[in-house]
Amino acid sequence: MASVKVVVSKADGTSYDVRVGENLIDQLGTDIMDRFDPQKVFLLYDGTVTAEDHGRVKTSLREQGVSVTSCKLPSGQPGHELGCATEIWQAMASAGITHECLVVGLGGPQTMNMAGFVSKLYTGGIPVVAVPTTLTTACIHCLGGFASALLERSFVGQYTYPDYACIDVSMFDEMPREQWIDGFALIAEMAVLGSDDFYFWLTDSADDLVDHDHGTVIRAVAQAVSLLADARADDISGIIKESPDPISVSEAQMRLTTATNVPRSQQILRYGDELASALVTLGKAQSWGRAHAEGMRFSMHVASETFDTSIDLVKSQDDLFLSLGLDPIEIDFQGIDLLHTLEQGPYGKKGGVEFVLPLDVGQSMTSIVSMDVLHQQIEEWIKEHE
């Protein structure tokens, strides 16, 4: 499988391509010239990028006669701040970047965010190309979002999309094993709440995915991107149609994360986050991916007890996580501490905690689980881990 093209449709009727394949960065220069024919390229990258891949991207662009200026984004909070964006704009101006040029974001989620932010607010907006270097970034951050920068204690920005995304799965081959496995939690949640076809294919293909089989990785990423893109587009269209007053596409996009009734695309991304965020707060998460998988296990068991979700699906999901290397975490804390952390966390509501609960493959709902029921479920969950 050389490559797959996913066409992402936006709510305003336009679209852009996401290309998923192997060794794509070696032809990135040709792709960019064919699509944009820029005078110059400003390459924003981060510490997740190897020197080899950084060089391959620059070589690919320069072989097409394109002038390239590179800028490394600082890690951590400094790379989120508006002052950093200002320095990048100054570097772009010094490099002679105009409205006939473009930005390439090469790296993880922080770089995708900043590349979108600086490109769309520079000289009225210039194109941005997303080239993710991690599995999680590939599945989510090639689909647009609220591109922002931190100003004191607030974020300023706007909802943006890339103009093209290139996902080269060969760049994932050198990822540390723990980071590679972490990304499977995101793939799994999209499969569980996505569709029968995706879920049952993933259960059959888990071993090949873990082993970096490129054809399997390409298909998994392409399906995840397509599924989430379609769900998000449907949600935005639904928000526009259901609004009592006319609203813009931009406003509808911003309402995705604040809607009282959690849209399907947000349910997919939030599945398992309730327990995962509590584990992180308690300092009991080996990694976000493993905490996320544990959160999905817990939510599935809660759904089985409260909404009669099939026990076969509970077992099937557990088996899938084990196949993907997402083993259960070790429990070395009291259930009451976890209960209080959940109650005080971002999903705590009056009378309980709001969970995304799977009803079947491809079906879910949000429900406030009472503290009494939650306490009982936590105690049972801890006993299962003993």
pLDDT tens per residue, range 21-80: 999 999 999 999 999 999 999 999 999 899 999 999 999 999 999 999 999 999 888 888
Which two three-digit tokens encode residue 82? 């508006």
pLDDT digits (tens, 9 = 90+) for 122-177: 998 999 999 999 999 999 989 888 787 878 777 877 888 999 999 999 999 988 89
- Which of 147, 172, 197 corresponds to the end of one domain? 172
d(CA 188, CA 194): 9
CATH number of the domain residue 291 falls in: 1.20.1090.10
Residue 258 covered by a domain: no
- Which of the pair, 24 or 242, is modelled with greater confidence? 24
Residue ranges making up the domain that contains 143: 3-172
Q: Look up residue 374 and give its two tokens.
A: 């939650």
Strand order in the sheet with 3-9: 3-9, 15-21, 164-168, 128-132, 102-107, 40-45, 67-72
Confirm whether pTM is higher than 0.75.
yes
Q: Where are the alpha helices (DSSP H) in the chain?
A: 28-35, 51-62, 82-94, 109-120, 135-140, 177-192, 196-210, 214-242, 249-255, 264-270, 273-281, 288-307, 311-323, 335-344, 371-385
Q: Is the dihedral of CA 92, 158, 274, 263 positive or negative?
A: negative
CATH code of residue 148: 3.40.50.1970
155 and 15 in one domain? yes
| Same-domain pairing of 17 and 136 | yes
The residue-averaged pLDDT of 348-364 equals 95
Question: Are 167 and 279 part of one and the same domain?
Answer: no
**Residue where a domain terminates, one of 112, 140, 172:** 172
**Closest Cα partner for 292 from 273, 317, 310, 308?**
273
Same domain for 306 and 157? no
Is the Cβ–Cβ distance between 286 and 185 less than 8 Å?
no
Looking at the fold, whether 17 and 155 belong to one and the same domain comes out as yes
Question: Does 206 fall in a domain?
Answer: no
Q: And the tokens for 178?
A: 């723990």
1, pLDDT greater than 70: no
Q: Look at residue 357 in the predicted model and tell me its pLDDT.
A: 97
155 and 277: one domain? Answer: no
Q: How confident is the model at residue 245 (pLDDT cuts 50, 70, 90)?
A: confident
How many domains, in total, are found in the chain? 2
